[in-house]
Amino acid sequence: GPNNVSMGELDRIAQNIIKSHLETCQYTTEELQQLAWQTHSYEEVKMFQGKPRDVLWQQCAIQITHAIQYVVEFAKRISGFMELCQNDQILLLKSGCLEVVLVRMCRAFNPLNNTVLFEGKYGGMQMFKALGCDDLVSAVFDFAKSLCALQLTEEEIALFSAAVLISTDRPWLMEPRKVQKLQEKIYFALQHIMQKNHMDEDALAKLISRIPTLSALCTLHTEELQAFQQLHPETVNVLFPPLYKELFN
């Protein structure tokens, strides 16, 4: 294997990450397939559109927070993550958890009709109109569509999620070398699996090229939250989940 990592070790890393991913996904692949064509009716979409802005924001903050709790559990099960110092565990999760949620979201996205699973059924972008941040919503939908186009397997989604999370690009890491070693192994494992699964030699490069978009989406989310908070400070302070505030405020 590359850089003195044996194939056996890469395989062990891959198996651990895939298992961690499957154990901590909110929905199984089968559940998602069953739901894929259950879409919100016109009336249901109208109902979302008619909600006050702060109510829909709160609803989305709750959903995101719920998804993040699963990502924390995913991180904890990755071999090596809990061996990092506590500062770095918190830092990686704080800066990467929303990115992983967005990667995972492509599992619950139907690219054939551009709908996403929200509140039990699939619905299009118009469902989020009342949030008042069309740019962010359409950028998130574009991202999901572009990731779906790569036709990743569940194993590749798992390894890519881990690679996004365990990243040396985060500032203020106390043990960047330790993080780097873990990240390199994850990338080798991802590369190995993608070479096996994809005819397209550039598949991995295409996947990696989505990372800057992920980080731009998270920046945009923070900006939209700040703008919303200026108008509805009491909604954020009183009604938003404490974990959401801790991570993004």
Which residues, 32 to 61, sit near other proteins by CB under 8 A?
Answer: none
* 236-242, long-range: CB < 8 A, 24+ apart: 239/54, 239/58, 240/58, 240/61, 241/61, 241/62, 241/65
Give the integer Cα–Cα distance in Å for 187 and 193: 10
Is residue 247 a contact point for other proteins (CB under 8 A)? yes
The amino acid present at 159, given as its one-letter code, is L
- Pick between residue 77 and residue 206 the one whose CB is nearest to other proteins: 77
Using CB under 8 A, which of 8, 171, 212, 242 touches other proteins? 242
In angstroms, the CA 86 to CA 109 distance is: 34
Contact 103, 157 (CB under 8 A): yes
Residue nearer to other proteins on the CB measure, 91 or 186: 91
Helices marked H in 130-202: 134-148, 154-165, 176-197
CB-nearer residue toward other proteins: 73 or 154: 73
Report the residue number, 87 or 209, with the smaller CB distance to other proteins. 87
One residue of 7, 94, 174, 216 binding other proteins per CB under 8 A: 94
Least distance from other proteins to the Cβ atom of residue 166, Å: 15
**Residue 211 Cα distances to 44, 96, 161, 225, angstroms:** 34, 11, 11, 21
The tokens for 145 are: 């569509």
Stretch that binds other proteins, among 99-107, 113-121, 205-213, 240-248 (CB under 8 A): 240-248
Residues 160-179 that bind other proteins (CB under 8 A): none
Name which of 171 and 242 has its Cβ closer to other proteins.
242
Q: How far is the CB of 246 from other proteins (least distance, A)?
A: 5
The encoded tokens of residue 4 equal 């003195």
- Judge contact between 152 and 62, C-beta under 8 A: no
By beta-carbon proximity to other proteins, the closer residue of 89 and 213 is 89
| Tokens read off for 185 | 């192994």
**Residue 212 vs 242, nearer CB to other proteins:** 242
**Is 126 in contact with 208 (CB distance < 8 Å)?**
no
**Segment 64-93, which members bind other proteins (CB under 8 A)?**
69, 72-73, 76-77, 82, 86, 89-90, 93
Q: Stretches 7-15, 106-114, 204-212, 238-246: which one binds other proteins (CB under 8 A)?
A: 238-246
- Size of residue set near other proteins by CB under 8 A: 15
Hey, which residues between 131 and 150 contact other proteins (CB under 8 A)? none
Residue 210, φ and ψ in degrees, nearest 5 = -85, -15
- Residue 47 neighbours by CB distance under 10 Å: 12
Q: For binding to other proteins (CB under 8 A), which residues are involved? A: 69, 72-73, 76-77, 82, 86, 89-90, 93-94, 242-243, 246-247
